[in-house]
Structure 1
Amino acid sequence: MPESGPRVAVLGASGYAGALAAALLTRHPAFQLGAASARSDAGRRLDHLYPHHRVAIELVSPDTLDPGGFDAAIVAYPHMAAAPVVAAWRSAGVKVVDLSADFRLRDVGTYGEWYGAHPEAELIAEAVYGLPELYRTAIREASLVANPGCYPTATILALAPLARAGLIGDLVIDAKSGVSGAGRAATEATHFVSVDENVRAYKVPRHRHTPEIEQELAALGNPVTITFTPHLLPLDQGELVSCYVTLTEPDRSETELRDLYADAYREEAFIETVDTLPGVRDVRDTNICRIGLHKDERTGRAIVFGAIDNLWKGTASQAIQNLNLMFGYAEGLGIG
């Protein structure tokens, strides 16, 4: 850890994503991990909760932290609980990367439909959607970044070149994630006995990431109503989205479609476009999204696959990628 440099607090560091963010900050050559907070686990050391991260810092109650002592914060709280904390730290002039859904949706009415009444709606206009491959310039100037959800990260990156070209007519997304995506608190659905040797869909037909994906596809110039179905896999980490696209121009060849992706992602360090079928092991413990595209000539559909590590590019390492941009560092510093 550097002896000087921006001091960053991780609020909610006892969860999977917060703990990984703290670990990445500990090894970062520019940022300092100034504090890691938790409520029920306050007083415990983070390396006792997560020995594999090797972060020898004591978790403190968030109520004991003075935002004035920090340059930035990563807020790893659930939706609704995050917004008031973000507002308090922003009012102190601290740059914030929020891992919740509270500032991802630009329309407060849409947020209300899917989550409930927004507790800090006046901050929505300040937030920048934190997908660097789409919003890099705006993130550099931002003080509040809404880190995307893990499913939207993989899906939007997998589909962005098609959306920019207006090629998505109808869209079905079959998404699968490891159990860590559900968070640290075990439920009956995520208990080992329920998950082991099993695959199950959940939150059908209204998963809350649906409007986030639709929002970003529309922002790319291709508004579409999607069918999105997530599944839980018996894995700890990893995520694969399979996107079935009815093309507006079904005669487009596979070569033409792949050229769109090559042109879109040629300069992107954390995007890999491949001719093979990507899997979750390909990207484990990395900030990489690995994308494969195939054309079904019989149906005229494009089938696009996106694989990420849900805790890395899907959450924590993407948060560091955003912080790097916000503070003027090289985008891949400490994560690539």
Structure 2
Amino acid sequence: MADGSHGAVLVAGAAGFAGAIAASLLQRHPALELGAVTARSDVGRRLSDVYPHHRVPLVLEELDLDRHAEGVRAAIVAYPHGAAAPVVQGLRARGVEVVVDLSADFRLRDLQTYEQWYVEHVAPELMAESVYGLPELYREELRGASVVANPGCFPTAALLALAPLARAGVIDDVIIDAKTGVSGAGRGASWRTHASRVDENVDAYGIDGHRHLPEIQQELGVLGVTAAVTFIPHLLPLDQGELVSCYVTPNRSLTQDEVDELFTAAYASEPFVELTDRSPGVRDVRDTNLARITARADERTGKVLVFCAIDNLYKGAASQAVQNLNVALGLDETAGLT
């Protein structure tokens, strides 16, 4: 372990987009040490050969829970849903202090809801132990957490956009119009994200129900929203980046001053949330852990319009995982992210 390090961290699934970024951030982290990188593909290759721009010289290894859990304090698991849960379970059983899971396996609080939208859960006993990893909403719960469920990218942006209004109890109805780049589909691109289909095109998907909808509905419900949420994502011909446009029907008239007060109270001291008068764009936050938000009271319609831009691979996945790791381990929350 390097001098001054607060512990070594394993990244399991480092050959994927988010896993590789997490490894890159940890490689340069001032208080943590990147202990090992494992993958289900590209085993034997250096991560810097798979992703030269991340400059991580470690060799990708096949995951061996007994060997890789030994000597690491924490882990980030960047596996797909269903495949992540047994890895999280195995790492915790072998004494790894904190595991941050980038999949959906521990985000939903209700087992039946998870299995309705995903697959049969192989480690349901850990669901009660997990903490939803949105630090701006769950910072205190994250301190000392053992299993952290990193939020989905759409829920991250949508919840940050809507939390101040939800907490104030003013949301009567909300439509979330979300747009994202093709990297959200992961390294194994499908027909929907193929260049020939995405180029010069905009495509709505998940119109009969997207898997992030129950996650958004769950967390808004915790904040007191009882209305059914309308959520429609769209695919844009971008590499990285995500913008959610939220159209809120409030249960009472709100002025711009009232809206400004709610958002300033919520985020003025947050290190990774920026409030702006100008509608945010995805280039404003690319390759950062920032969420950039604009909120407007529309006098003509009486609605409140909220826009939030994030980088889907950073704040929507990898850098938020490092932020969660910092909080859970009692480190400076911004370490390695600024």
d(CA) in 2 for partners of 1:135, 1:262: 18
Question: Does the CA-based 8 Å contact 1:2-1:29 persist in structure 2?
Answer: no
Tell me what 1:46 maps to.
47
- Deviation string 1:286-308 (CA, Å, 9 cap, x unpaired) is 11100001122222111100000
Select 1:88's aligned residue among 51, 71, 90. Answer: 90
Read off the aligned partner of 2:204 and give its amino acid letter.
A
d(CA) in 2 for partners of 1:224, 1:156: 15
Q: How does 1:1-336 map to 2 (within 5 A)?
A: 2-3=2-3, 4-63=5-64, 65-94=67-96, 95-249=98-252, 251-336=253-338
Percent identity at matched positions? 61
d(CA) in 2 for partners of 1:116, 1:39: 20
Which residues of structure 2 form unaligned runs of 5+?
none
2:306 is paired with a residue whose SS is strand
Read off the aligned partner of 2:32 and give its amino acid letter.
F
TM-score (norm 1): 0.97
d(CA) in 2 for partners of 1:52, 1:2: 24
Q: Quote how far apart the aligned CAs of 1:224 are.
A: 2.3
Q: Quote how far apart the aligned CAs of 1:205 are.
A: 2.2
Q: Quote how far apart the aligned CAs of 1:266 are.
A: 1.1
1:151 is paired with a residue whose SS is helix
Q: Quote how far apart the aligned CAs of 1:252 are.
A: 1.2
2:60 is paired with a residue whose SS is coil
d(CA) in 2 for partners of 1:181, 1:26: 23
Read off the aligned partner of 2:234 and give its amino acid letter.
H
d(CA) in 2 for partners of 1:228, 1:220: 17
Read off the aligned partner of 1:67 and give its amino acid letter.
A
Read off the aligned partner of 1:12 and give its amino acid letter.
G
d(CA) in 1 for partners of 2:264, 2:148: 28
Question: Does the CA-based 8 Å contact 2:144-2:330 persist in structure 1?
Answer: no
- Deviation string 1:137-195 (CA, Å, 9 cap, x unpaired) is 11012011000000000000000000001111111110011111110002111111111
Q: Quote how far apart the aligned CAs of 1:259 are.
A: 1.1
Question: Does the CA-based 8 Å contact 1:217-1:224 persist in structure 2?
Answer: no
- Deviation string 1:246-285 (CA, Å, 9 cap, x unpaired) is 1111x21122111100111111011111111011011111
d(CA) in 2 for partners of 1:224, 1:12: 37
Question: Does the CA-based 8 Å contact 1:279-1:307 persist in structure 2?
Answer: yes
Q: Which has the higher mean CA deviation after the structures are superposed, 15-24 or 200-209?
A: 200-209
Read off the aligned partner of 1:159 and give its amino acid letter.
L
d(CA) in 1 for partners of 2:168, 2:127: 28
d(CA) in 1 for partners of 2:301, 2:278: 20
d(CA) in 2 for partners of 1:172, 1:255: 23
Question: Does the CA-based 8 Å contact 2:177-2:246 persist in structure 1?
Answer: yes
TM-score (norm 2): 0.97
Aligned residues: 335
Question: Does the CA-based 8 Å contact 2:250-2:304 persist in structure 1?
Answer: yes
d(CA) in 2 for partners of 1:111, 1:198: 32
Read off the aligned partner of 2:159 and give its amino acid letter.
I
Question: Does the CA-based 8 Å contact 2:139-2:327 persist in structure 1?
Answer: yes
Read off the aligned partner of 1:105 and give its amino acid letter.
L
1:314 is paired with a residue whose SS is coil
d(CA) in 2 for partners of 1:71, 1:21: 16
Which residues of structure 1 form unaligned runs of 5+?
none
Q: RMSD of the TM alignment (CA)?
A: 1.2
d(CA) in 1 for partners of 2:45, 2:219: 40
Read off the aligned partner of 1:220 and give its amino acid letter.
L
Q: Quote how far apart the aligned CAs of 1:63 are.
A: 2.6
Read off the aligned partner of 1:126 and give its amino acid letter.
E
Q: Quote how far apart the aligned CAs of 1:2 are.
A: 4.2
1:313 is paired with a residue whose SS is coil
Read off the aligned partner of 2:225 and give its amino acid letter.
N
